[in-house]
Structure 1
């Protein structure tokens, strides 16, 4: 039975508004106030949700309708102060930053601004007068910075995605520590207008999400493909993915179990068909050390140095001591050192790109380890420098990167990072799909290829694995649902083989699919013709009353074709 327009409108409104209410209930339940600098009033956000629902029911195309996101506190959100993690620095933006505006124009709803290492200076997530942002999985450990609050808001399921920034690794380190995805696009692909700069020449706006497809979808609305006038990339030579990895000794000291977890990621790509080759990591790690030890840190003084000097003179109490020390020391660097360092960096970049050669990506652990809050407090500069060993050079070399989860070590998330040449963002994401933990799913009806609900699978990053049949122990019935779908029921003797597609999708995506599954559909174990059993869509027996038995057709598509 088709829904009337009034019922459609009610459904859209209730769905989007209920997602907002669930997010605020989640904020209260997790009790992590340090995530946020400013949170929009719930009534205001619900009003925006109702307006978006009205636009959708009126026929407007809003691809991100009802998707919830958060923005790092150095990114302008109209109606909220931009603090960059420093209350006395706050200003009221006249408009959303372009990245925020583009997402809102597509129907996404921003909940608030998130906590960060002050002035985006740090990879730890503890350098803030709003409090240290604790890790989503272990509150005794750091969340990673500087985009700390954004990453934890995603990891704890409050928002669908969140914006961060990345100068030295701030869009990747927090992703690794919290078990989520972090996309760091090619510099300039996403506009940085309306963002308080850290080092303006190499800053990037990034996106966090729980799955790669969600992150890619958000990034597609943020990006400006013509932002840089570069010649097209050379065509890739045919063949399997070519992944570069360094010799084990060049990785340096890693936390216990991390070397084994990294090797497992290498083997996972090899098993997926990738060709693994070795490269010299030296130019990457030498350039990483230059970001803070060289003259490039002077750009941080250019960004906020005059404010910091005045705040110190005025006796401001909200400056982080570690951040203040980094910025003020940068003030006195001699100009000649910058030119020397630029020449050295150019040589290192040439060497690094030569090492990459025709490799599609460099695979690295995102960080060498995951410190506790106490360890960072005891050695703030040393701990931070170690965390940037693999990430600091990426923007200096003008490369793209994606950080993805790669299992757990001692119960905590472990993450790896793929780095590639300028504007290979899409390629890196395709390679990263081979690293995502995945599960199989058996579908027999409306989720089949070409059917109305198949886009749900595609949006979760699912890929068709194979077409087969069930074991001959099932009956198939046509249900009176919208859209039309069949019900698969296990009967044992008297059953038949039913056409089945087996899809592979991220494990987290299966949970999201289950949470949105309407009755009478259920998720259970489906036995296939080869004797194996995998998760699949089944039907509650009570829904079969008056439902036509269509088993003799052998599948949903033959029935529709009849």
Structure 2
């Protein structure tokens, strides 16, 4: 699907659109599919800005993009993101990206343009990244599917991708349906993925009291009831908020990634981004090590849950998509900063590296997460396939 420089882009989703796509190899398993590339991935001959006016490092060629081209998919351009991937709304130095169906609302981030590109049918799938929810949040708010692989998945390489946090970064896809995501996974791994029967599957429902609004709570409970109708058992579980580990790790590593730009008097970052990076740079070694120690404790808790449950179900967002410029949201427990309300639901599974799928619900622009044990990606995708097919 050629996308010319004149292609309409009122959502400001596209960072770069060549006159002709990068054609995939003929006869490959992904031949006929097009994909967009988040502007953190290195593509020879294409610029890399990370949607910031600040200077960024050259990362070389993305191994993943090269593999997808070799498998037959064609790359149609690069999509905008929340500046340097440090945020969850889509704000950036190039006008910021808006929701695909409501110009007054945010699409989610940081893979904002990625979600918009597939929601509008401008690409069959999109390459995003996820450090704390950056695939799952825009997938949920734009009504599409997203997949964050297990950390270190050999077929979802982050080599040639500008990092935000090497501890928490993941590469992964978004698409209008999970079937397309599965087709990409099968091509990369060489393994078929079949729908998995939900009968007897032990589901841990993580729906912390007061963390969402009523619409999201009802949508999540309705999804859980649907799993029970398919034969799963659903039991509430508890996990704590993990931002006390997540934030110091990500901010300290992001400050190291962008250390050269931070030495400039006026680096060119948006004010929030600059403040967050300086906060990360000011963290002491002891504070960061304490965050890693807490991460180990949280990993022990999550691993314990997976001795009793096969998969976890959780909301992917606390509310439907907020308005542009909205800094706070109303959830059951009151008014909270948007960043905290969102990330406390999604960050644990990037922090701990577990595979996670974001699926739309029957409530518009509200998604849920299915979380599997590390390395159990194919089974998780198979369960998602069965849900999508109504099986």
Mark yes or no: TM-score above 0.5.
Answer: yes
Distance 1:435 1:65 in 2: 26
Say if 2:94 is the partner of 1:130: yes
Say if 2:115 is the partner of 1:151: yes
Query: Secondary structure, in 3 states, of the residue corresponding to 2:346?
Result: coil
Query: Secondary structure, in 3 states, of the residue corresponding to 1:268?
Result: helix
Tell me if the contact between 2:31 and 2:73 (Cα under 8 Å) persists in the aligned partners: yes
- Alignment-derived partner of residue 193 in structure 1: 159
Deviation at 1:87, TM superposition (A): 3.7
Say if 2:297 is the partner of 1:376: no
Tell me if the contact between 1:136 and 1:155 (Cα under 8 Å) persists in the aligned partners: yes
- Alignment-derived partner of residue 380 in structure 2: 428
Query: Secondary structure, in 3 states, of the residue corresponding to 1:436?
Result: helix
Equivalent in 141, 166, 177 of residue 177 of structure 1 = 141
Identify if the C-alpha distance between structure 1 residues 278 and 85 changes in structure 2 by more than 3 Å, giving closer, same or farther: same
Within 5 Å, give how 1:432-443 maps onto structure 2.
Answer: 432-436=384-388, 438=390
Structure 1 unaligned runs (5+)? Answer: 1-18, 226-237, 439-503, 505-562
Say if 2:252 is the partner of 1:298: yes
Identify if the C-alpha distance between structure 1 residues 377 and 89 changes in structure 2 by more than 3 Å, giving closer, same or farther: farther
Query: Secondary structure, in 3 states, of the residue corresponding to 1:403?
Result: strand
Deviation at 1:344, TM superposition (A): 2.0
Q: Which has the higher contact order (CA 8 A, sep 6+)?
A: 2
- Alignment-derived partner of residue 395 in structure 1: 350
Higher strand fraction (1 or 2): 1
- Alignment-derived partner of residue 242 in structure 1: 202
- Alignment-derived partner of residue 357 in structure 1: 307
- Alignment-derived partner of residue 35 in structure 2: 69
Tell me if the contact between 2:80 and 2:112 (Cα under 8 Å) persists in the aligned partners: yes
Tell me if the contact between 2:199 and 2:232 (Cα under 8 Å) persists in the aligned partners: no
Tell me if the contact between 1:245 and 1:278 (Cα under 8 Å) persists in the aligned partners: yes
- Alignment-derived partner of residue 116 in structure 1: 81
Say which one has the larger Rg.
Answer: 1
Distance 2:5 2:183 in 1: 26
Say if 2:169 is the partner of 1:219: no
Within 5 Å, give how 1:438-449 maps onto structure 2.
Answer: 438=390
Query: Secondary structure, in 3 states, of the residue corresponding to 1:122?
Result: coil
Identify if the C-alpha distance between structure 1 residues 362 and 288 changes in structure 2 by more than 3 Å, giving closer, same or farther: farther
Identify if the C-alpha distance between structure 1 residues 123 and 434 changes in structure 2 by more than 3 Å, giving closer, same or farther: same
- Alignment-derived partner of residue 554 in structure 1: none
TM-score by length of 2: 0.89
Within 5 Å, give how 1:252-271 maps onto structure 2.
Answer: 252-271=210-229
CA RMSD across the alignment: 2.5
Deviation at 1:355, TM superposition (A): 2.6
1:235-285, CA deviations, whole angstroms, 9 ceiling, x for partnerless residues? xxx961111013x5x242423422111110000111111111221122xx2
Higher mean C-alpha deviation, range 180-189 or range 369-378 = 369-378
Deviation at 1:201, TM superposition (A): 2.1
- Alignment-derived partner of residue 419 in structure 1: 371
TM-score by length of 1: 0.63
1:339-365, CA deviations, whole angstroms, 9 ceiling, x for partnerless residues? 222222212221222133231111001
Tell me if the contact between 2:114 and 2:127 (Cα under 8 Å) persists in the aligned partners: yes
Tell me if the contact between 2:56 and 2:258 (Cα under 8 Å) persists in the aligned partners: no
Distance 1:253 1:302 in 2: 32
Work out the number of aligned pairs and report it. 377
Tell me if the contact between 1:288 and 1:391 (Cα under 8 Å) persists in the aligned partners: no
Tell me if the contact between 1:288 and 1:390 (Cα under 8 Å) persists in the aligned partners: no
Tell me if the contact between 2:36 and 2:114 (Cα under 8 Å) persists in the aligned partners: yes
Within 5 Å, give how 1:529-540 maps onto structure 2.
Answer: none
Distance 1:110 1:401 in 2: 25
Equivalent in 30, 46, 50 of residue 80 of structure 1 = 46
Distance 2:322 2:255 in 1: 28
Query: Secondary structure, in 3 states, of the residue corresponding to 1:328?
Result: helix
- Alignment-derived partner of residue 130 in structure 2: 166
Distance 1:424 1:271 in 2: 23
Distance 1:79 1:92 in 2: 12
Identify if the C-alpha distance between structure 1 residues 365 and 26 changes in structure 2 by more than 3 Å, giving closer, same or farther: farther
- Alignment-derived partner of residue 194 in structure 2: none
- Alignment-derived partner of residue 17 in structure 2: 39
1:213-242, CA deviations, whole angstroms, 9 ceiling, x for partnerless residues? 2112223445699xxxxxxxxxxxx96111
